[in-house]
Amino acid sequence: MTAEKPCPFCAIASGEAEAHVVLEDTQTIAFLDRSPLFIGHVLLIPRAHIRTIYEADDATLEAMARAAKRLAIAVTTAMAADGIFVAQNNVISQSVEHLHTHIIPRRKGDGLFSPRVIWKRVRYCDQAQMAEVAAAIRGALP
């Protein structure tokens, strides 16, 4: 990113910004979304600043796919979800210009894809709740 607008995800990846990290390895890091669609919504990013999937190399994409699978299992288990939604915006609707994958717990009837879908964000009660959710997800990692 430019000096005018530093990348918030790079700041998390480097440890300069705080986040509730649930998984990290040499190539990726995953943390709770601060403005989730549902409690337990996780963002997975490459540690390197890569804007979109179009610029990502195969090794990064493979690392992200492996991490996404582990996170899908952990989020489903920790959140007692019925399933999972894994998504990625590239350019259109990409709120942060750093490649990221959403791992979102789903429940039957949650309305996420209803005919009149309005993706309303929810809030955690406080940092303690976020820490508790992050710990539950970490504890459910395969």
- Exposed e or buried b for every residue in 98-117, given b needs 16+ CB within 10 A? bbbbbbbbbeeebeeeeeee
Is 44 within the bounds of a domain?
A: yes
CB 28 within 8 A of CB 47: yes
Alpha carbon 66 to chain centroid, angstroms: 14
| pLDDT value of position 3 | 52
Is 134 within the bounds of a domain?
A: yes
Instruction: Determine the structural domain holding residue 21 and report its residue range.
Output: 8-139
Mean pLDDT of all residues in 47-76:
98
The helix, strand and coil proportions of the chain, stated in percent and rounded to the nearest 5, come to 30, 20, 50
| Number of structural domains in the chain | 1
Is 72 within the bounds of a domain?
A: yes
| pLDDT value of position 110 | 87
Is 51 within the bounds of a domain?
A: yes
* pLDDT tens digits for range 62-81: 999 999 999 999 999 999 99
Q: What is the CATH number of the domain that holds 120?
A: 3.30.428.10
Is 1 within the bounds of a domain?
A: no
Is 3 within the bounds of a domain?
A: no
pLDDT at position 102 over 70: yes
| pLDDT value of position 2 | 46
pTM here is 0.91
| pLDDT value of position 117 | 58
